[in-house]
Structure 1
Amino acid sequence: MGGSEMRVYGGVTGADRMAERRAQLIEAGLDLLGGTEGDQLTVRRVCRKAGLTPRYFYESFADRDELVSAVYDHVVQTIAAGALAAVEAAGPRAEAKIRAGLTSIVRAVAEDRRHGRVLFSVTLTDPLLARRRLESSRFFARLLIGQARQSYGVPDSPQLELVAQFVVGGLAQTLTAWLAGTLSLSEAEIVAECVEIFTALADRKAPAASG
């Protein structure tokens, strides 16, 4: 094991230290990208925020865009994991699962506004983010389709894909407006209204599964 990355200092391997530095850079990138000047994120600024030199930046990321992608993936994975865990813990009732998933998502963007800005802010016009947002909308639509199959027995179809894309896009726009302050509703009210909409759409598709 000749590489310096395999050496152990104070009980911590080089690979572990590298992972820690990568996590620091992603957190610093989230601070900057999710802040008020997200489009001004640069390698120099993120290194200064993380307290690391550019040498350590380039051991984890090829360039700024690769860091932006990692930050975005981190946000999507955090929110998706929280929502899926909430759904799994909600019990067998479909409406309870819908409420649990929506509560988790809304709370995640409310508690950490950086997440909401990275996912939804219209002021972040980076072409890379636009592309990643399109990819994540497809990802969340597939999660929604999976839950529809599991909870309602709805088979895959272009119609179900349409409904999933409609719901995901509508939720994203709703949370965008809410975070921007143009929707004067509480967190509980946002969840309640969205649950009603999601449940109505799910119930509408459910009979097609048995018919």
Structure 2
Amino acid sequence: MGASEMRVYGGVTGADRKTERRAQLVEAGLDLLGGTEGDQLTVRRVCGRAGLTPRYFYESFADRDELVAAVHEHVVQTIATRALAAVEAAGPAAEAKIRAGLAELVRAVAEDRRHGRVLFSVTLTDPLLARRRVESSRFFARLLSGQARQSYGVPDTPELGLVAQFMVGGLAQTLSAWLSGALPLSEAELVAGCVEIFTAIADRKAPPPSG
């Protein structure tokens, strides 16, 4: 057996077991970072929650910060994948795409509030998490700009970037307030309000029809 090969136990390779352990640690990290008690994430706590020894933690992560980054990335990718799939399935109408994307995003944070806390909670002040949130805001703004170009034919200009950043930032604050209970709205009411705002801005920025 070469150095690059892994032994197989019970039909599962060593690489597969490592992947499974990493996923366990990320899920445990999400529990602790996105829990109702705020950031309780330490190496000892996450290993206890995952039922793994520190040896297996350091198999996948150099330190706590690497796990925090992995948890945040997991949340961003989960929500982005769900929202984009909903947009693609919504058909060609621009407003239908806006409604589908926002509804799926709200549903994602409502179904698993850990996701919303990791992305938006003001009680999580970890410096690394703050930097990652800036990066994810830019990522979602790029996605929004791409949808605006595709659905409305809006040209790729600095003004589009400004509007996208403004909308993403406003939506993040709105979801943060809703998750904390400061906005006493149902999920359907929240989605309807956000769709109205997003559609109004999109219609205002869309180029006039030709002809």
- Do both proteins adopt the same fold according to a TM-score greater than 0.5, normalized to the shorter chain? yes
Alignment correspondent of 2:140: 140
Q: Which runs of 5+ in 1 are unaligned?
A: none
Greater displacement, 104-113 / 36-45:
36-45
Q: What's the CA shift for 1:149?
A: 0.6
Q: Distance in 1 between matches of 2:50 and 2:121?
A: 23
Alignment correspondent of 1:205: 205
The superposition leaves residues 80-108 of structure 1 with CA deviations (integer Å, 9 ceiling, x where unpaired) of 00000000000000000000000000000
Q: Contact 1:154 / 1:209 at 8 angstroms: preserved in 2? A: no
The within-5 A match list for 1:123-138 is 123-138=123-138
Q: Does 1:41 align with 2:41?
A: yes
Q: Which runs of 5+ in 2 are unaligned?
A: none
Alignment correspondent of 1:104: 104
One-letter amino acid matched to 2:167: V
Name the Cα RMSD after superposition: 1.5
What's the TM-score, normalizing by structure 2?
0.97
One-letter amino acid matched to 2:67: L
The within-5 A match list for 1:26-175 is 26-175=26-175
Partner SS, residue 20 of structure 2 = helix
**CA gap 1:4/1:151 in 2 versus in 1, 3 angstroms:** closer
Alignment correspondent of 1:10: 10
**CA gap 1:128/1:82 in 2 versus in 1, 3 angstroms:** same
Alignment correspondent of 1:178: 178
Partner SS, residue 196 of structure 1 = helix
Partner SS, residue 160 of structure 1 = helix
**CA gap 1:195/1:48 in 2 versus in 1, 3 angstroms:** same
Q: Contact 2:29 / 2:71 at 8 angstroms: preserved in 1? A: yes
**CA gap 1:202/1:54 in 2 versus in 1, 3 angstroms:** same
Q: Distance in 1 between matches of 2:39 and 2:69?
A: 14
Q: Contact 2:153 / 2:207 at 8 angstroms: preserved in 1? A: no
**CA gap 1:53/1:210 in 2 versus in 1, 3 angstroms:** farther
The superposition leaves residues 2-23 of structure 1 with CA deviations (integer Å, 9 ceiling, x where unpaired) of 3486111111110000000000
Identity %: 86
What's the TM-score, normalizing by structure 1?
0.97
One-letter amino acid matched to 2:11: G
